[in-house]
Chains A and B, each alone.
Chain A
Amino acid sequence: GENVEQHPSTLSVQEGDSAVIKCTYSDSASNYFPWYKQELGKRPQLIIDIRSNVGEKKDQRIAVTLNKTAKHFSLHITETQPEDSAVYFCAARKVQGAQKLVFGQGTRLTINP
């Protein structure tokens, strides 16, 4: 089955700097890769996703890149703000059928003012 590895487990950056979180997946058939942000005690929120037919997607300060050959994808947050502090999870799955999302271990991002 699919296995998703996420790094780093913790990340601390200065406000205004960029943050990058990386994930690798094992199943080459996976073709959907969402990223979720979870604040303490709250629900995971879908912040951006990418499908395997594109290599990059951007939404304001957030971007995701996908390298299908290497089977890895990354989340990039630019101009970080204190409200970006949270735990971020990557995930992967095959779109066909009722395939389940497989999550990475999570990255605790702290933005220092």
Chain B
Amino acid sequence: GAVVSQHPSWVICKSGTSVKIECRSLDFQATTMFWYRQFPKQSLMLMATSNEGSKATYEQGVEKDKFLINHASLTLSTLTVTSAHPEDSSFYICSARWTNYEQYFGPGTRLTVT
């Protein structure tokens, strides 16, 4: 199966600082990657769709200036949470589409903003 890695697995930062999360497809090229946010005991909420070499498409209600997404290559997408606040604390998960069908998830990044 396809492998998606994510780094870091957890991060603690102070309010007002920025945090970058990396998502990599290790054994395949992903033209499309997705960023999700998941609160405890809830479903996955899609934040944005990232296509290599083009601007990300954000879901309604997601601030594009706060959650910066860069998909610089076919194997790497990054999410930067800018000026983080405690309410941004969450579990962030990336996902990459391997074929036209299967979509695989990274291990997630637990962000805590103090």
**Count of interface residues, chain B, beta-carbon cutoff 8 Å:** 23
Are the CB atoms of B101 and A51 closer together than 8 Å?
A: yes
* Interface membership of B75, Cβ < 8 A: no
Question: Given B1, B43, B100, B107, which contacts A43 in the complex, CB threshold below 8 Å?
Answer: B107
Interface size on A, residues (CB 8 A): 21
Residues of chain B at the chain A interface (Cβ within 8 Å) = 1, 4, 32, 34, 41-44, 46, 49, 51, 91, 93, 100-108, 110
A26 is an interface residue with CB less than 8 A from chain B: no
Contacts of B4 in A (CB 8 A): 43
The 8 Å CB contact of B101, one of A32, A104, A105, is A32
User: Nearest Cβ in chain B — how far from A48, in angstroms?
Assistant: 11
A107 to B17, CA, bound (A): 36
Which candidate, A63-71, A75-83, A95-103, is the interface stretch facing chain B?
A: A95-103
Contact of B32 among A32, A36, A98, A106 (CB under 8 A): A98
Tell me the bound Cα distance from A44 to B95 in angstroms: 10
